[in-house]
Structure 1
Amino acid sequence: MRIAVIGAGALGGTFAALLSRAGHEVEVTARGAQLAAIREHGIRLSGGFGESTALVAAAEVLTARPELLLLCTKAQDAEAALAQNMGVPGGLDGVPVIVVQNGLDGVATAERLLPESDCFGLLAIIAANYTTPGEVRITTAAPSYLGRGSGPADAATKHWQAVLSGAVPVIAQDNFIGAQWTKLIVNMLNGLPAITGLTVQEVVGHRRLRLAMTRSMREAVRVAVAHDVHFGALQGLSDARLRLFVRMPLALGQILPLSMKWRMGSVPNLGSTQQSLRRGQPSEIDFLNGAVVREGAAVGIPTPTNAAITALVHEVERTGEFLSPELALARLAAAA
């Protein structure tokens, strides 16, 4: 099958390499050093899914209409990336699209720009480090979750799940919208590592940073509950567990980030937001902690911890300097 991957970063590179290894004809879009590296030696994949090199077609924009499109850019780049690739011979409208992004808005963006396309979301729990052009290291191999809407997984979802599962573990997800909110809770792991330059494991291992992370997760859960969200089951998290978490005393609630650290394993994980900053790229923090702030404002739920984390990540973007844990905690306390 001809499969296109727009955005060959950590996750895009992972899916492109695994789909190519499974025998699909893959074309990716990339820029700069990443594009040059892929053209020179392919995508080198290592870690949790094994060692392989995928020799895939690569260009700044797609050159051929695919049979399936994976949109793997950062959330803030999704609309522009789709628009830049509309000129592919035969166009993109009508091509099935799987949006592999954090946040809550990706599928809706694809549906708006490609009204004739079947659009799905894929929640990737894979942890991948991409700090060297053309090379991706999987630090945590995990299934991904495919779906759309808030009902049971439909026949089209199950069809594409079967296609993808020939290359990478994929589960057809019921209540996908609820699962997006569950993934957003998981993504609260990203902000504090991006502020401090520590790994996710180091942040969770730091008692006071872990408490701040727990506060950010609790705010996110409260916002979702106020929106009448029924959380989708994902990576050991469920609606019942998350509603219990938000009712626990803060000290007991720390069990949630600690359990996530345990699932992550011992291989250092920088988090996708910190990786973007280390590459000198804008982060998607406005679609993670920033999304909690926006959705909280819509229902009158205060989100001071998420607002402070969002602001501090943008500060690190501007200055290029990480904050010490002590300074980050002082700034968080002042904002709260």
Structure 2
Amino acid sequence: MNICILGAGALGCAIGGALAEAGADVTLVNRSPAHVAAINAHGLALVTPDGERAVAVRAATSCEGLGVADVVVVLVKSFDTRTAIEGARSIVGPDTVVLSLQNGLGHEDLLAEVVGRERVLAGKTYVGGVMLGPGRILSGVTGKHTVIGELDGTATPRVQAIAAAFNRAGLRTEVSDNILGTMWDKLLINVATGALSGITGLVYGELYAIPALRDTALAAVAEAMAVARASGVRLSMAEPVEAWDRAAAGLPFAFKTSMLQSLEKGSITEIDFINGAVVRAGARVGMPTPVNAALVACIQGIERRMAIDRQPVQPKE
């Protein structure tokens, strides 16, 4: 199976490295010339609890010149989705499948607008990765599961073949007949803590110590659950507190949400595909979502302030 990992950062390299070790023909696409050069020169260095090893795998800074892929796994940041898939048109052939394993909700619609909805699969993964340097990552694959599926819930041969390839690589993967429900379940966990952590600057242990923040989180999740149900989505959670509890399960006191990490690096966040996705879905079914709308506004305000702070100071005349 010829697989292109579009957005091969830490997570993409963890998945792509495992697939390459299992015999798949993998290409890692990442915009960093240093990262790509290190992989092509020395292999992808995977650091695991069993030690460090180098995996021979091809890497590129763009899709230019690459052949048509059987599967394109999309792992770019949410806000880069359209640009990335537009740049990957040359590797999308008549039978290519495009699988999004990104955080949040709404990427599948952006991908479908470019390559056609019939090509798009969706999924969620709990595999982890940390970038240690160019071409070198800490890989968290063992014991982590991935769920993928057709958008209409059909168990097609193509989605089963991809799951089989992932499982051969030690990436524990199952096919879901309710992938939209799975995506919403993961979204609820992100809704519970991401924006609140980003706004307050608090790590998990501190966030969970403040009752008022818990109440706000539960209100945001309750809105999201109501919107999901009104949209015909089947959830696995019955009460908002389940998302709040799951969000912190097994994590250390000092753990930081990805949204907080992005803000600390001065980067824009994926808020539009998390709480923002709830607001858009609510508008489609005629349901107000004031808590999530307020959280989106606050994060966007922080992003705007960072942009202003980065502007050069104009000299006085």
| Distance (Å, rounded) in 1 between the aligned partners of 2:221 and 2:59 | 38
| Distance (Å, rounded) in 1 between the aligned partners of 2:36 and 2:103 | 23
Identical residues among aligned pairs (%): 30
Partner of 1:17: 17
Instruction: Compute the displacement of 1:118 (Å).
Output: 3.4
| Distance (Å, rounded) in 2 between the aligned partners of 1:275 and 1:75 | 15
C-alpha contact (below 8 Å) 1:94/1:114 kept by paired residues: no
Q: Which amino acid aligns with 2:110?
A: T
| Distance (Å, rounded) in 2 between the aligned partners of 1:101 and 1:44 | 23
Q: Which amino acid aligns with 1:10?
A: A
Matched, 1:273 2:276: no
| Distance (Å, rounded) in 1 between the aligned partners of 2:257 and 2:268 | 14
Further displaced range: 100-109 or 132-141 = 132-141
Q: Which amino acid aligns with 2:157?
A: A
C-alpha contact (below 8 Å) 2:199/2:298 kept by paired residues: yes
Partner of 1:97: 98
| Distance (Å, rounded) in 2 between the aligned partners of 1:180 and 1:171 | 14
| Distance (Å, rounded) in 2 between the aligned partners of 1:214 and 1:304 | 13
C-alpha contact (below 8 Å) 1:92/1:114 kept by paired residues: no
Partner of 1:107: 108
| Distance (Å, rounded) in 2 between the aligned partners of 1:281 and 1:58 | 25
Partner of 1:77: 80
Instruction: Compute the displacement of 1:173 (Å).
Output: 0.9
| Distance (Å, rounded) in 2 between the aligned partners of 1:25 and 1:212 | 46
Question: Once the two structures are superposed, what CA deviation does each residue of 1:231-279 show, in whole Å capped at 9, x if it has no partner?
Answer: 2xxxxxx1xx32xx15xxxxxx3x54124312x3338543333333344
Instruction: Compute the displacement of 1:69 (Å).
Output: 1.4
| Distance (Å, rounded) in 1 between the aligned partners of 2:90 and 2:51 | 36
Q: Which amino acid aligns with 2:4?
A: A
Partner of 1:166: 168
Instruction: Compute the displacement of 1:227 (Å).
Output: 1.7
Q: Which amino acid aligns with 2:288?
A: P
Further displaced range: 28-37 or 282-291 = 28-37
| Alignment gaps of 5+ in structure 2 | 308-317
Partner of 1:186: 189
TM-score (norm 2): 0.81
Q: Which amino acid aligns with 1:190?
A: G
Partner of 1:326: none
Partner of 1:285: 271
C-alpha contact (below 8 Å) 1:194/1:273 kept by paired residues: yes
Question: Once the two structures are superposed, what CA deviation does each residue of 1:82-116 show, in whole Å capped at 9, x if it has no partner?
Answer: 1112235xx54531221111233223333332239
Matched, 1:122 2:120: no
Instruction: Compute the displacement of 1:178 (Å).
Output: 1.9
C-alpha contact (below 8 Å) 1:93/1:116 kept by paired residues: no
Which secondary structure state, in structure 2, belongs to the residue aligned with residue 95 of structure 1? strand
| Distance (Å, rounded) in 1 between the aligned partners of 2:233 and 2:176 | 16
Instruction: Compute the displacement of 1:303 (Å).
Output: 1.9
Q: Which amino acid aligns with 1:270?
A: K
Question: Once the two structures are superposed, what CA deviation does each residue of 1:299-320 show, in whole Å capped at 9, x if it has no partner?
Answer: 3323222122212222333334
| Distance (Å, rounded) in 2 between the aligned partners of 1:38 and 1:196 | 38
Which secondary structure state, in structure 1, belongs to the residue aligned with residue 148 of structure 2? strand
Further displaced range: 267-276 or 220-229 = 267-276
Partner of 2:207: 203
C-alpha contact (below 8 Å) 1:6/1:71 kept by paired residues: yes
TM-score (norm 1): 0.77
Instruction: Compute the displacement of 1:134 (Å).
Output: 4.1
Matched, 1:318 2:312: no
Q: Which amino acid aligns with 1:196?
A: T
Q: Which amino acid aligns with 2:149?
A: G
Partner of 1:328: none
Question: Once the two structures are superposed, what CA deviation does each residue of 1:24-74 show, in whole Å capped at 9, x if it has no partner?
Answer: 232111123544554565544445797544343222212232232111112
Aligned length: 301
Partner of 1:149: 151
C-alpha contact (below 8 Å) 1:17/1:53 kept by paired residues: no
Which secondary structure state, in structure 1, belongs to the residue aligned with residue 293 of structure 2? helix
Question: Once the two structures are superposed, what CA deviation does each residue of 1:277-309 show, in whole Å capped at 9, x if it has no partner?
Answer: 344432211010011112122333232221222
Q: Which amino acid aligns with 1:29?
A: V
Matched, 1:260 2:247: yes
Cα separation, partners in 2 of 1:15 and 1:275, compared to 1, 3 Å = farther
| Distance (Å, rounded) in 2 between the aligned partners of 1:203 and 1:41 | 42
Structure 1 runs of 4+ off > 6 angstroms? none
Partner of 1:58: 59
Partner of 2:223: 219
Question: Once the two structures are superposed, what CA deviation does each residue of 1:164-183 show, in whole Å capped at 9, x if it has no partner?
Answer: 11121111111112222222
Question: Once the two structures are superposed, what CA deviation does each residue of 1:101-158 show, in whole Å capped at 9, x if it has no partner?
Answer: 1233223333332239632112113344447554444568520101023435333222
Cα separation, partners in 2 of 1:163 and 1:52, compared to 1, 3 Å = same
C-alpha contact (below 8 Å) 1:93/1:117 kept by paired residues: no
| Distance (Å, rounded) in 1 between the aligned partners of 2:246 and 2:172 | 22
